[in-house]
């Protein structure tokens, strides 16, 4: 760690004063008081205490000082001086005697093992929510056998038309959005209360298509009304559709031909529907994945979707749909119990960060640390550029940097550890 590493952390004038302090010998002492924790004393207007902490496992760096300037959350000249002094200590310490701590590697493996489970986490499908929705629907379903009307496109269109009209006429559209899709919601509730799920589903998908195309009238960017309310409304509708598909797929007497049509309808939302709606409804396909009888339907629908994506001339990574399709396919393979294929899929789609993360985790748990290192090195390099320890899946217990540190230790790669430490210093926080 030298001036080049330290200077970017500070405002130029602060750094040059700190550098002057360092050369004037104002750093009275620097001690490594614990692994990764340094304490320094600096003589300025007063005697100030500086703490520099480099977390060994996550390679996060924190700087603090007791002076009034730093009290306002700024990095001060005292900290700059101490960091330069620590750099001197670390460079003199290059005899390779620093022990490589294996417990970091073992620790991260056990944390990731419990998170990963037997075959990796599901990313799109949420069984708990589907169960919950099923319970709610059972409570509210009308007990009288309802007659379910077959609606035409024009009829379902009128269900949303009234909302669009009131939106256009109203000055205060903001408030109305919560009930925006009441008509659509009624169609879906009726559909859920019927026994003829196949027929009900085609009405449901029809009304959802109209909801999708009406979004552009109400300002699809959330402009002019409360985007959160809209998200909630759409989410509620989408869960009703997912529940309906779940019930259809569970019906032993259902016709395969109708399932194929449903699957095509769901894929249509992903390909052409508005993004907000497509990703909410897409998970419905997984109801077919998890049953032997209907597994092939989901597989073929996803094959078709993947083919249509590779037809696009632009690199697939730039497609906004690509990460979602990866997650969906991954869940599909897990729910169908095709674990080897899931692993293969991850390895073939490592241009997607989430798939790369799952692959790296799997390699780590298999103790294939060289392969895990290859994947992690690529992504942690991207993380360093933006100075964040990016965590590709929110629920995962750590991010790329922490994984890289553990792997570097496992490999006994001191150079890599040093690089990681320098990168951490660059991202230091006050
Ligand atoms: Zn200070």
Of the candidate ranges 4-13, 140-149, 318-327, the one whose mean pLDDT is the lowest:
140-149
Which residues, in sequence order, are CB contacts of 383 under 8 Å at separation 6+? Answer: 389, 390, 399, 400, 401
Residue 424 lies in a domain: no
Residue 429 lies in a domain: no
Q: CB 74: neighbour CB atoms within 10 A?
A: 14
In which band, very low, low, confident or very high, does the pLDDT at 57 lie, cut at 50, 70 and 90? low
Choose between 316 and 106: higher pLDDT: 106
Q: What pLDDT is stored for residue 128 in this prediction?
A: 75
Counting other chains too, the contacts that 249-257 makes at CB distance below 8 Å and 24 or more residues apart are: 249/287, 249/288, 249/291, 249/294, 250/287, 250/291, 251/197, 252/293, 254/197, 254/198, 255/198, 256/294, 256/297
Between the CA of 83 and the centroid of ligand 1 the distance, in Å, is: 12
What is the Cα Rg of the chain in Å?
28
Between the CA of 80 and the centroid of ligand 1 the distance, in Å, is: 9
- Backbone phi, then psi, for 251, in 5-degree steps? -75, 110
Choose between 180 and 336: higher pLDDT: 336
The residues facing 51 across adjacent strands are: 39, 64
Residue 418 lies in a domain: no
Between the CA of 87 and the centroid of ligand 1 the distance, in Å, is: 18
The reply to whether 130 and 79 lie within a common domain is: no
The reply to whether 195 and 299 lie within a common domain is: yes
Choose between 211 and 319: higher pLDDT: 211
Q: CB 50: neighbour CB atoms within 10 A?
A: 26
The reply to whether 108 and 95 lie within a common domain is: no
Between the CA of 104 and the centroid of ligand 1 the distance, in Å, is: 32
The reply to whether 228 and 137 lie within a common domain is: yes
Residue 422 lies in a domain: no
The reply to whether 109 and 44 lie within a common domain is: no
Between the CA of 430 and the centroid of ligand 1 the distance, in Å, is: 11
The reply to whether 385 and 350 lie within a common domain is: yes
Counting other chains too, the contacts that 290-296 makes at CB distance below 8 Å and 24 or more residues apart are: 290/125, 290/335, 290/336, 291/249, 291/250, 293/252, 294/249, 294/256, 294/259, 295/336
Between the CA of 12 and the centroid of ligand 1 the distance, in Å, is: 15
Distance of CA 54 to the CA centre of its chain: 26
For the chain, the 3-state helix, strand and coil shares in percent, each to the nearest 5, are: 65, 5, 30
Between the CA of 65 and the centroid of ligand 1 the distance, in Å, is: 5
| C-beta of residue 401 within 8 angstroms of C-beta of residue 420 | yes
Residues with CB under 5 A from ligand 1 (ion): 48, 65, 67, 70, 76, 78
Between the CA of 57 and the centroid of ligand 1 the distance, in Å, is: 27
The residues facing 52 across adjacent strands are: 38, 63
Between the CA of 78 and the centroid of ligand 1 the distance, in Å, is: 4
Q: What pLDDT is stored for residue 135 in this prediction?
A: 67
The reply to whether 73 and 151 lie within a common domain is: no
Q: What pLDDT is stored for residue 98 in this prediction?
A: 47
| C-beta of residue 224 within 8 angstroms of C-beta of residue 173 | yes
Between the CA of 81 and the centroid of ligand 1 the distance, in Å, is: 9
- Backbone phi, then psi, for 246, in 5-degree steps? -60, -45
Residue 420 lies in a domain: no
The reply to whether 59 and 188 lie within a common domain is: no
**CA atoms of 111 and 128, how far apart (whole Å):** 23
- Across residues 163-173, what is the average pLDDT? 55
| C-beta of residue 395 within 8 angstroms of C-beta of residue 408 | no
The reply to whether 106 and 135 lie within a common domain is: no
Q: What pLDDT is stored for residue 412 in this prediction?
A: 85
Choose between 152 and 235: higher pLDDT: 235
The reply to whether 234 and 182 lie within a common domain is: yes
Between the CA of 119 and the centroid of ligand 1 the distance, in Å, is: 50
Structure tokens at 83: 């960091």
- Backbone phi, then psi, for 35, in 5-degree steps? -55, 120
Structural domains of the chain, count? 3
Residue 332 lies in a domain: no
Choose between 214 and 341: higher pLDDT: 341
Residue 379 lies in a domain: yes
The residues facing 54 across adjacent strands are: 61
- Across residues 114-140, what is the average pLDDT? 78
Between the CA of 36 and the centroid of ligand 1 the distance, in Å, is: 20
The reply to whether 138 and 10 lie within a common domain is: no
| C-beta of residue 13 within 8 angstroms of C-beta of residue 19 | no
Q: What pLDDT is stored for residue 372 in this prediction?
A: 95
Between the CA of 145 and the centroid of ligand 1 the distance, in Å, is: 76
| C-beta of residue 193 within 8 angstroms of C-beta of residue 146 | yes
User: Ramachandran region of residue 98, left (φ > 0), alpha (ψ -120 to 50) or beta?
Assistant: beta
Between the CA of 69 and the centroid of ligand 1 the distance, in Å, is: 6
Which residues, in sequence order, are CB contacts of 410 under 8 Å at separation 6+? Answer: 102, 105, 369
- Across residues 321-335, what is the average pLDDT? 93
Which residues, in sequence order, are CB contacts of 77 under 8 Å at separation 6+? Answer: 10, 14, 15, 17, 18, 21, 44, 69
* Domain that residue 20 falls in: 3-100
pLDDT above 60 for 66: yes
Tens of pLDDT, residue by residue over 235-274, are 888 888 888 888 888 888 888 998 999 999 999 888 887 8
Tens of pLDDT, residue by residue over 69-78, are 988 888 899 9
The reply to whether 294 and 316 lie within a common domain is: yes
Which residues, in sequence order, are CB contacts of 92 under 8 Å at separation 6+? Answer: none
pTM above 0.85, yes or no: no
pLDDT above 50 for 142: no
Residue 88 lies in a domain: yes
Residues counted in the chain: 430
pLDDT above 60 for 416: yes
Between the CA of 304 and the centroid of ligand 1 the distance, in Å, is: 61
Q: What pLDDT is stored for residue 59 in this prediction?
A: 67
Average pLDDT, the chain: 79
Between the CA of 21 and the centroid of ligand 1 the distance, in Å, is: 11
């Amino acid at each position: 760690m030298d001036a080049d590493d330290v200077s970017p952390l500070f405002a130029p004038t602060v750094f040059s004063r700190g550098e002057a302090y360092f050369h004037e010998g104002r750093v009275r002492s620097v001690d490594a008081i614990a692994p990764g924790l340094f304490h320094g004393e600096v003589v300025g207007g007063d005697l100030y205490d500086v703490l520099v902490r480099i977390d060994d496992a996550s390679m996060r760096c924190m700087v603090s000082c007791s002076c009034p300037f730093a009290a306002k959350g700024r990095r001060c000249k005292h900290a700059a001086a101490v960091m330069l002094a620590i750099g001197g200590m670390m460079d003199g310490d290059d005899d390779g005697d620093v022990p490589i701590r294996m417990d970091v590697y073992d620790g991260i493996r056990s944390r990731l093992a419990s998170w990963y489970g037997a075959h990796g986490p599901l990313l799109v499908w949420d069984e708990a929510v589907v169960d919950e929705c099923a319970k709610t629907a059972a409570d509210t379903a009308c007990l009288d056998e309802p007659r379910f009307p077959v609606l035409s496109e024009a009829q379902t269109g009128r269900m949303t038309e009234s909302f669009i009209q009131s939106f256009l006429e109203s000055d205060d559209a903001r408030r109305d959005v919560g009930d925006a899709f009441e008509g659509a919601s009624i169609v879906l509730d009726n559909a859920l209360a019927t026994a003829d799920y196949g027929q009900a589903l085609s009405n449901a998908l029809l009304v959802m298509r109209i909801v999708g195309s009406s979004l552009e009238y109400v300002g699809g960017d959330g402009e002019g009304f409360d985007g959160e309310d809209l998200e909630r409304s759409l989410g509620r509708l989408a869960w009703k559709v997912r529940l309906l598909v779940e019930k259809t797929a569970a019906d032993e007497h259902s016709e395969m031909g109708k399932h194929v049509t449903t699957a095509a309808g769901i894929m249509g939302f992903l390909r052409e529907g508005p993004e907000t709606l497509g990703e909410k409804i897409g998970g419905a396909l997984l109801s077919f994945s998890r049953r032997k009888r209907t597994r092939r339907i989901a597989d073929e629908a996803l094959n078709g979707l993947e083919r249509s994506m590779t037809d696009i001339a632009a690199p697939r990574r730039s497609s906004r749909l690509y990460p979602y399709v990866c997650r969906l396919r991954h869940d599909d393979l897990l729910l169908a119990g095709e674990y080897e294929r899931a692993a293969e899929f991850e390895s073939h789609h490592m241009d997607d960060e989430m798939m790369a993360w799952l692959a790296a985790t799997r390699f780590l748990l298999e103790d294939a640390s060289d392969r895990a290192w290859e994947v992690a090195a690529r992504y942690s390099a991207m993380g360093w550029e933006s100075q964040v320890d990016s965590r590709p899946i929110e629920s995962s217990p750590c991010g790329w940097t922490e994984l890289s540190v553990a792997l570097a230790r496992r490999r006994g790669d001191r150079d890599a550890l040093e690089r990681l430490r320098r990168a951490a210093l660059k991202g230091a926080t006050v």
